[in-house]
Amino acid sequence: MRAAVLFEAGAGGLELRDDVVALGPDQDEVRIRIRATGICHSDLSVINGELPGGGGAMVVGHEGAGEVIAVGSRVAAVAPGDHVVVNWIPACGACDDCRAGRAHLCMTFMANLFERPHFEVGGAPAFGMAGTGTWAEEVVVPWQAAIKIGHDVPFEHAALLGCGVPTGIGAVLNTGDVRPGDSVAVIGLGGVGLSAVQGARLAGATTILAVDPVEAKHVLARRFGATDTTAPEGLAAARDRLTGGRGFDHAFEAVGRSATIRAAWDVTRRGGDVIIVGAGAPGDNLEISSYELLFAARNLKPSVYGASDLRRDLPKLITLIKTGRFDVEGLISRRLRFDDLPEGVAALDKGEAVRQVVVFD
Ligand code: APR
Ligand code: ZN
Ligand code: ZN
């Protein structure tokens, strides 16, 4: 089958292959025929080496949806023919975090990603990104990573429900404590940030500042509910103008850099929340003095995967989409074929795209 394989991080490291095999399923796994998969910034970060991939050959992609085509003997939650979203932080349901309602912190599967390869490329073993690897015609994942949805959800929309949408909206609705009338800044307007903008609107924020260097993203952000927009250089002035200099109640960082986390900190009010949504590089250190950390009195909150539990959150998200309250179609800037993946990655790198979705026929 076809799959996009990263042999080595860096330019030219991604190869489109047609000699890839997905291994399994074992008794607790399911095989999914991927019908649509998105290009998320984390894919780009793994390809260019900013995020660690784990070494060795890897099938890229983690935002996908498709149809179940085979299940292991102990799988009851899904059956062949079911449509599913791939969950890249599957929840085991049995660990302390899962039982306490913190499914996004479950490490049961994350801790064992490299126990057993799930692919072979030209006969050699290969792993899938974050235990998935959705830039492939088929993947095999634990059944907990296959979240059933209705047949009426288009696969392109379902794919985005695997990462960008729950990460952005979840940061607001699960991690943030946004109340009607609050002021919000969202820094970075990709698929994740624009989902956060929509989340802020849904939560009733009345000031929503959307920040991005790319002008075209400002137009989109306004369509999704932003009340104000600015380039990064205008951030301090916008804070002063919109909050009387006090700072925003909540600032969401959806870029994945220490500099933008620092910018979010600087525009948040005392007692307000700085919510980290972007995935930064291991060596990119944030500088905040211990003095500031106490006396500036902001709350630094990580929001891994938007603190989402897809099994819990997807039904509501799908209802928001069906009732016109969340615009997922508007996040899709382009539909691509598998062969166009490298070009799509380059477009994301240039800041030209929002969500590009590869559709397998
Ligand atoms: N200030 C504001 N926005 C910026 C800045 C900056 N200094 N630098 C870049 N941006 C913008 C880009 O122009 C782009 O519109 O951030 C946006 C990032 O969007 P995408 O590349 O589409 O990324 P996305 O897939 O939305 O992911 C955002 O979340 O899941 C993580 O790994 C992902 O860290 C990434 C983040
Ligand atoms: Zn668990
Ligand atoms: Zn992602």
pLDDT reported for residue 55: 78
**Which atom of ligand 1 is nearest the CA belonging to 45?**
32
The residue among 222, 158, 238 whose CA lies nearest residue 189 is 222
pLDDT reported for residue 78: 98
Q: Report residues whose beta carbon is within 6 angstroms of any ligand 1 atom.
A: 40-42, 45, 164, 167, 187-193, 211-214, 217, 232, 254-256, 260, 277-279, 348, 351
Share above pLDDT 90 across residues of the chain, in percent, rounded to a whole number: 94
Q: Which amino acid is at 95?
A: C
CA 5 to centroid of ligand 3, rounded, Å: 17
- First-to-final CA distance of the chain: 13
CA 73 to centroid of ligand 3, rounded, Å: 30
Nearest ligand by distance to the CA of 163: 3
Report yes or no: 267 and 199 within 8 Å, Cβ to Cβ. no
d(CA 120, CA 327): 38
Given ligand 1 and candidates 88, 239, 255, 355, which is best to mutate, with the most ligand atoms within 8 Å of its CB? 255
Given the structure tokens 């991690």, which residue do they identify? 175
- pLDDT tens across 302-326, in order? 999 999 999 999 999 999 999 999 9
Q: Does the pLDDT value for residue 347 go beyond 90?
A: yes
Full DSSP string of 28-78: TEEEEEEEEEEE-HHHHHHHTTSS---SS-EE----EEEEEEEE-TT--S-
Q: Does the pLDDT value for residue 216 go beyond 80?
A: yes
Structure tokens at 194: 């624009």
Q: Does the pLDDT value for residue 201 go beyond 90?
A: yes
pTM of the predicted structure, to 2 decimals: 0.98
Average pLDDT, integer, range 177-185: 97
Full set of structural domains in the chain with CATH: 3-161+328-359 (3.90.180.10), 168-304 (3.40.50.720)
**Which atom of ligand 1 is nearest the CA belonging to 354?**
22
Average pLDDT, integer, range 184-194: 98
pLDDT reported for residue 11: 75
pLDDT reported for residue 113: 87
The residue among 339, 342, 345 whose CA lies nearest residue 360 is 339
Given the structure tokens 């928001």, which residue do they identify? 320
Least confident of 195-199, 268-272, 349-353: 349-353
